[in-house]
Structure 1
Amino acid sequence: MGCSRSTVAAVFAAANTAGVGFGEVAELGVDEVRRLLLPDPSAPVSDRAAPDFEYVHHELGRPSVTLLLLWNEYVARCRQTGEVPYQYSFFNEQYRRWAKATGASMRIPRNPGESVEVDWAGDPMAYADPITGQPVNGWLFVAAFSFSAYSYVETFADMTLGSWITVHAFENFGGAGRLLIPDNLRTGVSKADRYEPVLNPAYARLAEHYGTAIVPARIKARDKPVAEGSVRFVAGQVSAVLRDRRFVGLAELNEAIFAEVDRINAKPFQKREDSPWIVFYRDEQPLLVPLPQVRFELADLRKAKAGPNYHVQVEKNLYSVPSTLLIGRQLDVRITSHTVEVFDGAERVASHARFVGVTNRYATVPMHMPEAHRSRLVA
């Protein structure tokens, strides 16, 4: 039968305890014999009140409802009827067994303003390049609050880190959640791991800038049900509604997407009160982490050495640093789309507007020059 010795022993022990012989079970089905000899261990003890776990599971889907609250209500009902309730720990254990046996997803508590789930939608949307007129694929970025399911969707020309950094979503929300939950994709997570994923350094700097913590979803786990549902919603509704329209450029496509997402956010929930828009602005937005005064910019970090002419070379252009620095000293350079910043350890020693599209240009701050050079400049 492919049974272990311990299973065979348990069956004989159960049969002896029940006083059941082979003749009494020979004509029964497997499930009937199992129920007769080996009752479900999750079945309630006879002197305890059986909780309605289907009701418990349904109620956990409502805002701010927890297992502790439902256990307290269960205990109160038992007191009214004179029944004996389960202890809280056993109540939790029984619910987990019930969820596993029925295939129901365990309800994960969600708090207002706590977490934002982010992901890419699977199917691209097409738009025409405004210069060539050729069709181009745009990739849908989705950010959604776990509590309200209030969503932000935007199309990008690629799925690189520059598109992934979530800045536009935070600005649309008017703040950041305390947790940011991405998938274990290479864009935001350099090394996927079930327990200790390694974040992309730039993505980690984004979190520090906005005062949020990045907690990648576990591999093959249901940590991002809202964003994954929003991905399906984008593919199923936004893409379908806009399927026959033709767009020129990303801006026109995104304008149509924003309007459609606003409509969906304002649509009432099917299984709870209000709508994502109402729940977000009423319960979540007041709790968000305020946005910093300066927008986060994706930066490229490099090393450079101070030359004899007190300049560092970055992308074939030269930027000045204080001449008091030792020639050949290794410096850190932070490059954004608009600026070039130079650091000596933790101290920023120079900041320049970045040259774009040109080479062999010098950006020189007079205060960086030696005294003799400054006096010659004045003369």
Structure 2
Amino acid sequence: MSKVELYAAIRRDHRGGMSMRQLERTHCVTWRTVRKALDAAWPEPRKKLPPRETSLDPFKPVIDAILRADLDAPRKQRHTVTRIFHRLIEEHAADVSYGMVRRYVAVRKPQILVESGEAPLEAFIPQTHPPGMEAEVDFGDVTVRLAGELVICYLFSLRLSYSGKAVHRVFASCGQEAFFEGHVHALRTLGGVPRSKVRYDNLKAAVAQVLGLKRARVESDRWIAFKSHLGIESFYCRPGIEGAHEKGGVEGQIGYFRRNHFVPVPEVDSLAELNELVEQWDRQDDARRIDARPTTVGEYFVDERPLLMPLPEEPFETCRIFTPRVDRYSQIPVWANRYSVPVRLIGRRVRVVLHASHLVVYDQNVEVARHERLIAKGGCHLELDHYLEALVRKPGAFPATALEQARSAGRFTPIHDAWWAQARKVHGERDGTRALIEVLLLGRHLPHEHIVAGLAAALRADALTADAVALEAREAAQAENEPATTPPMHTHAGQPAATVTSLHEWRLAHLPPDTRPLPSVTAYDQLLHHRRTSGDDHREGEAQ
């Protein structure tokens, strides 16, 4: 029985006519307890005992002095609890535990900050966001295992303040092109633009200079044009951690999205594959509820979507344009990385269109190369096909960096290696390598999988020429488009028979049927008879 229930029973029995002595005997309590129960229905709170002395008490002034000295120290070089604990032991021979120090610092440190006036108590005012009016934007870094390598990418997030509906996109960088492409993707997904302000921190993609501690900013020209195109009204938060709460919705949204969808670390082959997963996760999050809201995010967004401003019909070019010169290694520099182009362009300037996740290289409006954008700085992305014309003249340079990257990407398969090794064994190092380069040149006209099939068939038949590979690759393409009605022949091991069609047979098989009549030699027989008769007459005259 609790003390409240005991007091209630004593008061009830007293109203029934019991005396004080009877109440003592009935409830087994003292006269003082009965008196307190009759005087008040609610028991008095238990008096707190005075704090006991601990072994930390002599050292509390020392800890206070350390915390006060930290107020003038650099923010990243202030004492941690562990450092305070070690100093007490090393400098003062204190016999204290780490837990005692941690509990005292947790209580005393905020008090010292308030006493110093450095961190005054700040009041936060609840806000109401009308539907279709406001949004928040930010970047957050995420770790991804991309093509087997652990890399850091950047998660763009645009969140509507009323419904909490958020759209995310992962990019290789957080530059201006990614900033613009993230807006375009998010606003297309949402179906409109917020009518009032969109909150930002001071990203370099938008802000060129922060003017003092006020909200005045010098914005970049492309960002001003982009805002004008979409009709966005920007609102910049205070610099640093002091302004983080001004867009706390998107800050918390990025943390939620990272904890719930990027744990464990996702493993993908490309950013395109990862962004497909991100779109699925965004749709799944429409079914969640924020705090104690009565309905889901998706249901709130249904009410908010018709109130957004419509998107402009004409697109805005979000990419960046560069015009680098191709060096003697047939490479171009783009933002601390290097990318290959065809060797015929060495020494010329090309036009590079840089997007958030890839780049396209043009030579006089003709696309000559396309690369996925490298994430780490100082990288180099080479295409083996860009160097084939030079390698035909220099086959000895074939084991190059581009070959290793082609192997890593799966474009240069073990079948290529096996055919190359056999070709070098038969034709010699130089001619065998040149034959392989001629095979690789076929990739400009035939699909990669058909060339691999042609190499496999030629290798089984020991046909180590580029012409044989080309014929078998075309036959594989034809078999894929027009499947044969009869099953293929197999050897005893169950493998397809290794037959290579000669060029003469291949041409005859593709000629139309000959419907002309067979030739006759009758006219020639008449000539032979006339000649025999003339010869007999001449021999008879001589005899006479």
Deviation at 1:218, TM superposition (A): 2.5
**SS at 2:261's partner residue?**
helix
Cα distance in 2 for partners of 1:101, 1:167 equals: 41
CA distance in structure 1 between the aligned counterparts of 2:254 and 2:151, rounded to whole angstroms:
20
Aligned twin of 1:171: 188
CA-CA distance at 1:316 after TM superposition: 4.3
Which residue of the partner structure matches residue 19 of structure 1?
Answer: none
Instruction: Give the corresponding residue for 1:267.
Output: 288
Q: Residues 1-379 of structure 1 correspond to what in structure 2 (within 5 A)? A: 105-121=124-140, 123-129=141-147, 134-165=149-180, 166-178=183-195, 179-193=197-211, 194-219=214-239, 220-221=242-243, 222-240=245-263, 243-282=264-303, 284-298=304-318, 316=349, 356-358=361-363
Q: Is the 8 A contact 2:143 2:265 kept in 1?
A: no
TM-score normalised to structure 1 length: 0.50
Determine if contact 2:194/2:308 at 8 Å carries over to the other structure. Answer: yes
Residues 176 and 290 of structure 1 are in contact (CA less than 8 Å); yes or no, is this contact kept in structure 2? yes
Q: Any idea what SS the aligned residue of 1:140 has?
A: strand
Shift of 1:135: 3.9
- Partners of 2:210 and 2:186 lie apart in 1 by 24
Q: Which protein is richer in helix relative to its size?
A: 2
1:125 shift after superposition: 2.6
Q: 1:103 to 1:317 in 2, by over 3 A?
A: closer
Q: Distance in 1 between matches of 2:225 and 2:201?
A: 18
How far is 1:301 from its partner? 8.8
Is there any run of 5+ residues in structure 1 with no aligned partner, and where? 1-99, 303-314, 319-334, 339-354, 362-379
Distance 1:232 1:211, change over 3 A: same
Number of equivalent positions: 211
Distance 1:171 1:104, change over 3 A: same
Structure 2 counterpart of 1:250, one-letter code:
L
Letter in 2 for 1:251: A
- Distance between the aligned counterparts of 1:337 and 1:294, measured in 2? 20
CA displacement, residues 251-280 of structure 1 (integer Å, 9 cap, x when unaligned): 111122222222222212331221111111
Change (3 A) 1:192 1:237: farther
Q: Rg bigger for which structure?
A: 2
Is this contact kept in 2: 1:127–1:249, CA < 8 A?
no
Amino acid at match of 1:124: V
**Shift >4 Å, 4+ stretches:** 100-104, 299-302, 315-318, 335-338
Greater strand share, structure number? 1
Compared with structure 1, are the counterparts of its residues 297 and 359 closer, same or farther at alpha carbon in structure 2 (3 Å cutoff)? closer
Distance 2:120 2:365 in 1: 70
Q: Report how far residue 105 of structure 1 moved.
A: 2.1
- RMSD, aligned CA: 3.0
Task: Give the % identical residues.
Answer: 25
The answer as to whether partners of 2:144 and 2:265 remain within 8 angstroms in 1 is no
Distance in 1 separating the partners of 2:188 and 2:247 = 22
Q: Please give the alpha-carbon distance, in whole angstroms, between the structure 2 residues aligned to 1:245 and 1:238.
A: 8
State the alpha-carbon separation in 1 of the partners of residues 207 and 171 from structure 2: 19
TM-score (norm. length: structure 2)? 0.36
Q: Does the Cα contact within 8 Å between 1:297 and 1:336 map onto a contact in 2? A: no
1:317/1:185 CA distance change after superposition, 3 Å: closer
